[in-house]
Structures are given as C-alpha cells and as structure tokens.
Homo-oligomer: A and B are copies of this chain.
C-alpha cells in the first residue's frame, strides 16, 4: 500500500502544500479521491496519473474506475478461482457484476450470484453468473444453502456489499481445506466481523482487497488493454449516459438503486 498517495476521503488537498487547486468565487473547492474528474481541467499528483492506450475510447474506459477494477481484481488477483471451480458473489451491484466477470475470465465454471434484489439476477447472467440465490427465498442460513448446492462449500467467495453479515456469510460458505473468501465491500465504521475461530482452523483463508490489488499506475493500462483485446466488455457495465448539465439526474437514478451504472459526459 502506498503510504504517500493512498487516498482517504478526508484529505481533499494536494500533498505538496496541503492546499486545494480549485476555487469558486474565492472559496476553495476540495479535491475528490485524488483525481477530481468532474471538471474540464484538473490538477493531480503525478502518482495519480496512469498512461493508457491513446486509441482507447475515453467515454467507455472511464468506467474502469474504483468500483469495476475493485470487483474485477478481487476475482482475478485475489480470489484466483482455479479453472472449473465454483465461486459465490455476494451483491450484484456494479462491483459484484465486475467480480462475476473476473471469475468468468479466470475460468470458474459455476458462478453463483447472491442478492436480496431478485431483479438483478437476469442481468447478472451477462456477467457470467450461472446460478442465483436470494436469501429471502430460504429459511436456512445462506451459508447452508450454498453448502448444500456445492457438496460442502464453494471454492471461492467474493463479498461486494459492505454489509458485515454478508461478509460473515461469505467467509462461512467456503469449503474447508481450501476455500478462500475475499472481502471487497467497504464496511460501516462501527461494523464488527465475528465468526467462530474454528472456521479458520479448518484451513480456510480470508483476505481483503483494496482496488482489487491492482497497482493503479502499473496495472490500469493493462486493464484497458484487456478491453482493447475484447477480453473484457466494458459496454455492458454502462446502463445510462447523462450530460454534465444533468449530473443530478444521474445521482437521482443512483439513489433509486436497481443497478444503475451511469457515465457522466463532459462534452456537453
């Protein structure tokens, strides 16, 4: 992890002098996660810039940002499902869909999506999900449902909700002996991960990831190349495209939920 540049949401200023480079009417506007890309021009630390293939269409590859890369990398770089293995994905928002896509690219043969919102299941098929579990449809704990479906547990699980109970379920649903669970979702600050430690002694592994373990400057250009080589289809991650002048419409769509993944166009 980069101690210097790792972005915390409180920073909002340049590292060099602790000041902002933006203002409106003399009032400072603070930087957002090191990039501040909702503007025509921006100022950022050299370490926050990655050079990508100049042929790449920016209105498509801009979706290869925090959420998508985190989900994708959680599967490809961290969970690393062996070919033919079974993966459970908890949460089918943008991050979870990217995790499913990553599991598909890695060669998993069964990808089980878990979500409380049944309307997300159909779309998740496009991202490689082969089966679905809605915990609401079961009286048994979802760990048990998954164990029953998989002869004792999934090989890998990726948790993309940020809900601490889903994190615990994602850990407890992997198979003894070799199972690996990867935590991706950002938890509530007061959340506590609780499990019986015997679950670890049965030779399971629990890992977390930040940005899918991608090193942004080194690895982002390669993710863009995956798109250029058609190994990764980014178009299916985009459900809406909204001009900057209507940015609040995009936030309204997001607040309604239901799996909206929107591009904000600056060319308006």
Contact = CB atoms under 8 A, between A and B. Distances in A.
Nearest to A200: B208
Interface residues of A, number: 31
Interface in A198-227: 198-210, 213
Contacts of A192: 194-197
A22 to B, nearest CB: 29
A167 to B, nearest CB: 6
Contacts of A200: 183, 193, 206-208
Contact of A183 (B186, B197, B207): B197
- Chain multiplicity (copies): 2
B203 A206 contact: no
Nearest to A199: B208
B196 A191 contact: yes
Contacts of A167: 197
Contact of A203 (B1, B177, B194, B204): B1
Contacts of A84: none
A150 to B, nearest CB: 14
User: Of residues A164, A167, A197, which shows the largest number of chain B Cβ atoms within 10 Å of its Cβ?
Assistant: A197
Given A194-B192, A194-B193, A210 B203 contact: yes
A15 B105 CA distance: 43
Nearest to A209: B203
A229 to B, nearest CB: 27
Given A193-B195, A197-B164, A177 B1 contact: yes
Given A183-B201, A202-B208, 13 more contacts: A184-B201, A187-B198, A187-B201, A189-B196, A192-B194, A192-B196, A193-B194, A193-B200, A200-B207, A203-B209, A203-B213, A205-B206, A205-B207
